[in-house]
Structure 1
Amino acid sequence: MRIISNNCSAKLVIKGKISFGCYIYQDGLEYNDIQHTVLVCERLGFDSVWLKDNFIPWIQAYLSNEKEGQEIKKERKSASMLECWTTLSALATITKQIRLGAILVNLYRNPAIVAKMFSTLDVISNGRTEMGLSAGWYEKECQAYGISFPKGSVRIGMLEESIKIIKKMLCESSEGSCNPSFKGKYYVISNAVCNPKPIQKPYPPIWIGGGGKQTLKLAATYADGWNYGLCSYNEYLDKLLFLSKCCRTIGRNYDKLMKGWQGMIIIGKDRNELRDKKRAIVEKTKISNRRMLEFIIAGTADEIVKELGRYTDKGVNYFTVYFSDLPDLGSLRLFARYVIPHFRN
């Protein structure tokens, strides 16, 4: 993956390449688990690793369709949940080639601070950083940390202003009177210097995550890549269709926008192993069979290749995969050995 500059707009040049990232949900993992997983991913040829921007366990609530107000179980409250960007900074010092990313919840940090975080990590990693932004969905987490959770239209407005600020701070020179300033409805910055600038010019790839119509419009307008998942194939295609319409409306080349799928894959070397892994994920997350069919791709290596091929046929070129059996690396190794090479060859 190579970044080139063109009027302060980051471009991902892939020339038909299908990229693969490992999405590490830190829920219940210690730092040593994450570190080991990342180093193995780098050796096995994954393009990137991504961490989740959550402060409390969330995956069981999402997959089991817990009501928003339901109390988090005691054992989940005590589970380890490392903050993503701090952890990525540590991982940058022990890796050499693999790219490092996270889809940040916009509500959790001032965008000017995010710009500084982004440029700093890109320098530390020698140009291996990617970042996404989402409007935010987990109201329970906001309540727990005393973070305001406004209505959806406000969150979208905040997200748009944040993207403008981040790009302005990463691109504009701090020489003379060109210190970045911005006055919007939700954020104001005044002469916000951002030095050093990122290694990747004009800035590292910026993704937007989410599937709402207003979010998709922002992705078409501002993002280098769009990321969505944990949904059915048909739902994902509906989002792609709307995204393409948004691009046409504003005159953007849809093919130059990275389309990312992120979700859970259960892979087994045979039917028996696959059955055991399915049983384990049901026990771990309390997910129902119906929601498993909606959110999870499960199968042998050949079946996974066939299913992912349905997405690549529709233009998807970036898969960020969560393996539910981490820190056990069996599924990750199986995927790297039998699935990734199919799309690379």
Structure 2
Amino acid sequence: MSLVLGCNISTFDSTTAPADLFNAVRDQAIAAEEAGFDVVTIGDHLYATPGAPDEPTLEAYTTLAALASCTNSIQLSTMVTSNTFRNPAVLAKMVTSLDVISGSRAVLGIGAGWFEPEHDGYGLEFDAVSERMAKFEEALRIIVPMLRGERPTMDGRWYRVHEAINEPRVRDDLPVMVGGGGERRTFAYAARYADHLNITCLPAQLPDKLRALEERCAEAGRDPRTLEVSFATPMVINEDGEKARQQVEEILVQSGVDASMASEVFFVGTPAEVTEQLRAKVLAHGVHRLMVNLFAAGQDLDVIALTGRTLAPLVSGG
């Protein structure tokens, strides 16, 4: 199943009682399914990002497994799994179990990991970028074969497995989505191992990123048309465009980003305004898959519905 339009649940309402928090997340996932999104994703974090570390953050895979019983057709993924959190063979087992539970709706979204404070707080290793990337590739060499029904053996620098068994499985083509913006290594790993690349960058950087991806595919001997590509899309849509812009300014200030960057970072405004922005900055470059992050605005179910109504027709013909 293709990943065309995704809704990312990246923040949790700090005003909701902990006992009610999952119900709020469930309602957002159901709203995304009803609005025409074909995948709902959960941020894989131990601390809230952005925001204070003690704001609520649910563990991603237990949350996705619970969402599997509350939804019917929407695919389920992280945006994206931090490779630094889990042993890769155990991660392969976890996402495969999610696939069994959900009836073949799991997607493995994965990246190298980046948010240092949560690693420090939980006592997890946070290596230099070069080492994290080396770990990431070694992990993919274990995870991908296990998802395909193979039993890999590896005595690597970072990880060791011996004929690792991954049963039960319901399919051999569980999608692997690599997320990130690194032109040299992240894109190379996507070209070698993934079914889908979700590009994270400023909209103005997208043309250069796509050129770099073509180069990595050529180096890997892969036809770039066989690799799905989506754009990570920070967005706030509201029928009241000024209200949407005010919400984005609040998000940026909370994140410590200059609010004057709003137009460079976000797609923001009325449905018509956002549609025009996407056509000029994303669709014009041939990218017709969007992974949408509504941030706190996505806690409003009406915003999810409006976003789906706006975007589903826009990407369906891509």
Q: Write out per-residue CA displacement over residues 86-142 of structure 1, whole angstroms, 9 at most, x where no aligned residue.
A: 100000011110000111010110000011001111000110011121111111211
Offset of residue 283 of structure 1? 5.6
**SS of the residue aligned with 2:103?**
coil
TM-score, normalisation: structure 2: 0.90
Report which stretch shifted further, 92-101 or 244-253: 244-253
CA gap 1:191/1:139 in 2 versus in 1, 3 angstroms: same
1:117 maps to amino acid: M
What's the secondary structure of 1:95's corresponding residue?
coil
RMSD, aligned α-carbons:
1.9
Q: What runs of 5+ residues in structure 1 fail to find an aligned partner?
A: 2-11, 13-17, 61-75, 174-178
Aligned to 1:281: 251
Q: Are 2:15 and 1:44 equivalent residues in the alignment?
A: no
Corresponding position of 2:17: none
SS, match of residue 140 in structure 1: helix
- Residue of structure 2 equivalent to 1:73: none
Out of 9, 14, 24, the residue aligned to residue 24 of structure 1 is 9
- 3-state DSSP class of the match of 1:132? strand
Name the structure 1 match of 2:137.
160
Q: Structure 1 residues 282, 168: closer, same or farther in 2, change over 3 A? A: closer
Letter in 2 for 1:312: L
Report the CA distance shift for 1:292/1:313 in structure 2 as closer, same or farther (over 3 A).
same
Distance 2:311 2:149 in 1: 42
User: How many pairs were matched up?
Assistant: 307
Change (3 A) 1:133 1:211: same
Which residue pairs with 1:4 in the alignment?
Answer: none
Partner of 1:85: 61
- Deviation sequence 1:155-190 (CA, Å, 0-9, x none): 1111111111012222235xxxxx432222211101
Per the alignment, residue 105 of structure 2 pairs with 128
Q: In the TM superposition, what is the alpha-carbon distance from 1:293 to its structure 2 partner?
A: 2.9
Does 1:219 pair with 2:219? Answer: no
CA displacement at 1:191 relative to structure 2: 2.5
Supply the distance in 2 between the matched residues of 1:317 and 1:338 (Cα, whole angstroms).
Answer: 14
Counterpart Cα distance in 2 of 1:157 and 1:272: 45
Provide the rounded CA distance (Å) in 2 between the counterparts of 1:275 and 1:290.
11
Letter in structure 2 aligned against 1:23: N
State the 1:20 CA deviation: 0.9
Q: Which runs of 4+ in 1 moved over 6 A?
A: none
CA gap of 1:284–1:155, structure 2 versus 1, over 3 A, is closer
| Partner secondary structure for residue 287 of structure 1 | coil
Inter-CA distance 275–250: structure 2 relative to 1 (3 Å threshold): closer
1:262 aligns with 2:247: no
Distance apart, 1:240 and its partner CA:
1.5
Matches within 5 A, 1:191-340: 191-197=163-169, 199-200=170-171, 202-212=172-182, 213-229=184-200, 231-282=201-252, 284-309=254-279, 310-324=281-295, 325-340=297-312
CA distance in 2, matches of 1:155, 1:281: 29
Q: Contact 1:211 / 1:239 at 8 angstroms: preserved in 2?
A: yes
Percent identical:
31
Farther-moved stretch of structure 1 (294-303 vs 109-118)? 294-303
Q: Tell me if the contact between 1:304 and 1:339 (Cα under 8 Å) persists in the aligned partners.
A: no
TM-score by length of 1: 0.83
In 2, distance between residues paired with 1:276 and 1:34? Answer: 24
1:95 matched residue in structure 2: 71
User: What amino acid does structure 2 have at the position aligned with 1:31?
Assistant: F
1:8 is matched with none
Task: Verify the 8 A CA contact 1:266 1:298 in the aligned structure 2.
Answer: yes
* Residue of structure 2 in register with 1:187 after alignment: 159
What stretches of structure 2 of length at least 5 have no aligned partner? 15-20
Deviations 1:205-244 (A, max 9, x none): 1011111221111111111111122x32222222221111
